[in-house]
A and B are shown apart, each in its own frame.
Chain A
């Protein structure tokens, strides 16, 4: 099994893309179904609720609509286009990859039935997600989404089939199930291709780090909380593991303090090398920076506080 570094690199790129592709496809499919079969006003009713209710709905929507971080962005973009308020959509985008049954059970299993790790993980994702959603809640849709992100897909990817700009309302009627299927497939393919570009870019970067970064640096930071927490946050971003699997990797890093493990588990699903270019391509500059920076800072502050105060040993 002697493999050259390039061969290992190519294998890791392949495995990341193949692992994420079904989930990205599922996200694209959900997005396409929303676009074709869900009327424009169907989800807009959420915007009449209070901000806290919107954020709460977004935080817990993952329990009903399990999505991993690989596929959550296209769904979020579609939700925003369908009139879901940013407070709910952003909270959903950041929290759903962790606050869903599959991920929570995986965390519980990986940590040998220690339910506290699953609860802490959910909490450490929900707080930054709620915070980010609250900051972006007042942003208008046109200030949130990039125009070119959807203009590329043959117009606005609204399945009307003609080229046009974005900021228009169609007042779609829901087509019959069979008539809508070709459009669902067409939109699924388009969404998938758009997001696959960023998935591949992220996989290339993550594989490069995993292949060429010496593993010895991990051993240098286990002793100090101040070094361990940022180091594992950086690791989570760089190696871009799916949120369904990262708990098993975290569980194997037992030499690190628990706050650092939780920082790894909380940040990875919200920010990694797959998501970074996706955020930058879907959101305009300011909201993209908020979505990238705020959760990272919040996770760092929370995990350090928990470690320094002795709440988490």
Chain B
């Protein structure tokens, strides 16, 4: 009887301990999973893991040697709040897992249809583009490029059952980001006929002097023009700072947003979500984009654009205001002074990490 009374008296303390343990385990588990980057910049992974471990430790005294106490409204409120949070977090984690699976399946589907039709997905091109394979297609043959991608048999065999994003994708870490610039945004282009066999005649490797430069083409040359690879956020930040030394020709990867108002002006939006710390402070950075081939793009397409910047003139200075407002997690910002003029577009099968987490001020950019 007295034991029952004791265990009832220590219950509030035990439940507190259980709350800490659940939260700590969730944090440690998420930090160890490949879905972490949906919520936070991967650079914080170890911090979250350590905090989760400390929370589990902090739960031990309350679980193992609980002290007698009374239930109080404050205790109930915090335990309820934690339970609500954990439910929301599990929901978000499941949604992230589902989204990642859809993302991977979309890549597989697009890849399959492109292979069946046998069509190249170069939307437009200069005179040399038909002769020169896609720069990125050439990269796909490099060993470093494959390291950050889901492997093809996994994503192209849905019959084997649901693909878990935890298995299908790898999380970008500082190590992979630094070692392979296509780490966090690693992508695979639509296969071009003969891309695997034909040497990249139209490409020149002019990357940095590191050993990675031999594996990743940071300055592809198309039609005799060298393009600097960078991510859309890096370009946006350079312009935002008023810098004039942005690359005259660049290659970047982005997702397409279409809206009727911009369609009428022959333009689309290219955007990327930049995550500084966590999803709450993410920015959805956008550029109005025009040029041959953009009409053929679908809303949501992932593309690799080879292009240049063009200041918005009086005739089209109002274009950014026609852009649709942000609907995703990031604060939507359209560059008000420049638009991207497309010189060539490759449609991508998709990319492993739709967000960008690293922003560099100079070459080699964290494209």
User: Chain A: residues with CB nearer than 8 A to chain B?
Assistant: 1-4, 7-8, 10-19, 21-22, 25, 29, 112, 148, 152, 154, 161, 163, 182-183, 185-186, 188-190, 192-194, 196-197, 200-201, 203, 206-207, 210-211, 214-216, 218-219, 239-242, 244-246, 248-249, 251-255
Contact = CB atoms under 8 A, between A and B. Distances in A.
Interface in B52-102: 54-55, 57-62, 65, 67, 69, 72, 74-75, 77-78, 81-82, 84-85, 88-89, 91-93, 95-96, 99
Top 10 A-B pairs, shortest CB-CB distance: A189-B58, A22-B51, A245-B277, A10-B92, A15-B278, A15-B279, A197-B78, A186-B61, A15-B39, A19-B278
B281 A254 contact: no
A300 B4 CA distance: 58
Contact of A196 (B54, B61, B78, B329): B78
Centre residue among A16, A22, A194, A207 by max chain B CB count within 10 A = A22
A216 B285 CA distance: 15
B248 interface: no
Interface stretch (B15-23, B115-123, B191-199, B215-223): B15-23
A296 B105 CA distance: 49
Interface of B: 13, 16-17, 19-20, 23, 27, 30, 38-40, 44, 47-48, 50-51, 54-55, 57-62, 65, 67, 69, 72, 74-75, 77-78, 81-82, 84-85, 88-89, 91-93, 95-96, 99, 103, 237, 240-241, 255, 276-281, 283, 285, 300, 321, 325-326, 328-329, 331-333, 336, 354
Nearest to A28: B58
A22 B279 contact: no
A203 B99 CA distance: 23
A193 B78 contact: yes
B74 A152 contact: yes
A224 to B, nearest CB: 17
B298 to A, nearest CB: 13
25 contacts: A8-B329, A10-B95, A11-B95, A11-B96, A12-B329, A14-B85, A15-B39, A21-B27, A22-B47, A148-B74, A152-B72, A152-B75, A154-B69, A182-B61, A186-B62, A190-B16, A197-B82, A214-B325, A215-B331, A218-B331, A239-B281, A241-B281, A252-B240, A252-B331, A254-B240
Given A19-B278, A200-B84, A215-B331, A189 B59 contact: yes
Given A152-B75, A215-B332, A161 B67 contact: yes
Given A8-B328, A21-B23, 14 more contacts: A4-B95, A10-B89, A11-B279, A12-B279, A14-B89, A22-B48, A22-B51, A182-B65, A189-B16, A189-B58, A196-B82, A203-B85, A242-B277, A242-B281
Contacts of A186: 58, 61-62
Contacts of B354: 1
Contacts of A188: 54, 58
B43 to A, nearest CB: 12
B48 A189 contact: no
A129 B194 CA distance: 67
B280 A163 contact: no
Max chain B Cβ within 10 angstroms of own Cβ: one of A2, A11, A210:
A11
A239 B62 CA distance: 34
A206 to B, nearest CB: 7
Nearest to B84: A200
B280 to A, nearest CB: 5
A18 B92 contact: no
Contacts of A18: 27, 30, 39-40, 48, 89, 278
Given A197-B78, A206-B280, A1 B99 contact: yes
Contacts of A218: 331
B16 A1 contact: no
Nearest to A148: B74
B27 A14 contact: no
A241 B65 CA distance: 37
Contact of A16 (B48, B60, B237, B280): B280
A114 to B, nearest CB: 9
A249 B69 contact: no
Contacts of B328: 1, 3, 8
Contact of B20 (A193, A206, A241, A254): A193
Nearest to A235: B331
B89 A17 contact: yes
Contacts of B72: 152
B336 A245 contact: no
Contact of B81 (A21, A189, A196, A249): A196
A29 B20 CA distance: 14
A244 B89 contact: no
Given A152-B74, A196-B81, A254-B240, A248 B276 contact: yes
A251 B239 CA distance: 12
A242 B276 CA distance: 11
Counting chain A CB atoms within 10 Å of each CB, the highest count among B84, B91, B93 belongs to B91
Contacts of A12: 279-280, 329
Contacts of B60: 185
Between A8, A25, A194, A206, the greatest number of chain B beta carbons within 10 A of the residue's beta carbon is seen for A25
A163 B276 contact: no
A112 B237 CA distance: 10
A29 B3 CA distance: 33
A259 B88 CA distance: 37
A282 B336 CA distance: 45
Contact of B281 (A200, A214, A248): A248
A60 to B, nearest CB: 26
Nearest to A186: B61
Contact of B88 (A3, A10, A197, A242): A10
B277 A189 contact: no
Contact of A189 (B62, B237, B240, B333): B62
Nearest to B93: A14
A13 B331 CA distance: 16
Given A186-B61, A189-B61, A249-B276, A200 B82 contact: yes
